[in-house]
């Protein structure tokens, strides 16, 4: 009997060491980046609209960046009149490492694993304008990113959303169509490691659109939301479907033309540009805790055998 107990204890010790030396691996990651370059509003002739083409032109460029981890938030906002300049919200970060990247760095992280840490991160940058203003030619450049990352052995959720929107009211001096023209580079990625927990998930998506509304009728007269920058960009992974899923397209030209816009009619144009990412995982038992549990179970087995003997 003594020999049997010694054998069981040796087995328990070996099991404990084996489990403790095999760390639990669990992580989730999501990233969304959208680069819109050389964005212009064009006449039917192909020439860019100028501030002098409008009898009324007023509105704002608005930007926000929000990062979150475990319900701790970091926020940045900015709003600037469209004829006065463009907003550049500093990057926002919660968790570690923070900041995860240099300000206005829109380069994708290396594909996991490993994930780059546990954090929520958001950044935004907007330069230029969609129309010619004074001596400055038309050509706006808008970039946004959102990242969420959870490292191993943690109960964590990371959420980031960042966006840029431009809204202005205008009245044309002469009737004409309005063509939207720009280059876009979309990128999204979602990753969940095997065994991250039953509720683990990672999601990334983009959202971009432009709308023109007739302010007299309150009806939309033009909408453009290319699927490549919206529904096609959605990427998601879960514990049931682990691994990595990436959406990336080469830089390409996009464009669409409105119906005829009447001179003297008041319109409102809204341009929305958003990137969103979130990641969630459940905590896995620490290896040391599992080892203690294994030893305890074997000790109980020994005690039961003692009683029977």
Does 137 fall in a domain?
yes
| Tens digits of residue pLDDT in 147-171 | 999 996 665 566 777 788 899 999 9
**44: domain range?**
23-287
CA atoms within 13 A on the CB side of 285: 11
Does 10 fall in a domain?
no
| Tens digits of residue pLDDT in 213-248 | 999 999 999 999 999 999 999 999 999 999 999 999
Does 212 fall in a domain?
yes
Would you state the pLDDT for residue 152? 62
CA atoms within 13 A on the CB side of 137: 4
Does 9 fall in a domain?
no
Does 230 fall in a domain?
yes
User: What does pTM read for this prediction?
Assistant: 0.85
| Tens digits of residue pLDDT in 246-266 | 999 999 999 999 999 999 999
Does 303 fall in a domain?
no
Does 59 fall in a domain?
yes
Does 304 fall in a domain?
no
Six-digit token string for 100 = 């995860």
Domain count, the chain: 1
């Amino acid at each position: 009997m003594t020999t049997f107990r010694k054998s069981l204890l040796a087995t328990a010790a070996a099991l404990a060491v084996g489990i403790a030396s095999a760390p639990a691996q669990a992580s989730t990651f999501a990233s969304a980046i959208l680069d819109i370059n050389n964005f212009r509003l064009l006449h039917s002739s192909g020439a860019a609209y100028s501030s002098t083409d409008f009898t009324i032109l007023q509105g704002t460029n608005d930007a926000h960046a929000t990062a979150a981890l475990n319900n701790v938030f970091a926020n940045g906002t900015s709003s600037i009149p469209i004829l006065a300049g463009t907003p550049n919200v500093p990057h926002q970060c919660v968790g570690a490492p923070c900041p995860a990247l240099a300000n206005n760095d829109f380069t994708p992280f290396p594909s996991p694993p490993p994930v780059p840490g546990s954090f929520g991160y958001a950044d935004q940058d907007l330069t230029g304008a969609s129309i010619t203003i004074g001596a400055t030619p038309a050509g706006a450049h808008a970039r946004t990113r959102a990242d969420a990352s959870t490292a191993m052995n943690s109960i964590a959720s990371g959420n980031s959303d960042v966006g840029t929107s431009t809204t202005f009211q205008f009245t044309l001096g002469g009737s004409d169509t309005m063509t939207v023209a720009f280059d876009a580079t979309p990128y999204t990625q979602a990753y969940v490691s095997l065994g991250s927990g039953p509720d683990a998930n990672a999601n990334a998506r983009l959202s971009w659109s432009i709308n023109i509304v007739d302010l007299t009728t309150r009806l939309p007269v033009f909408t453009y939301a290319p699927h490549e920058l919206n529904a096609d960009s959605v990427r998601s992974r879960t514990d049931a479907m682990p691994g990595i899923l990436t959406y990336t397209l080469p830089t390409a030209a996009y464009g669409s033309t409105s119906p005829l816009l009447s001179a003297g009619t008041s319109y409102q144009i809204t341009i929305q540009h958003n990137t969103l990412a979130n990641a969630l995982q459940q905590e896995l038992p620490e290896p040391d805790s599992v080892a203690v549990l294994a030893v305890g179970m074997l000790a109980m087995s020994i005690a039961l055998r003692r009683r029977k003997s």
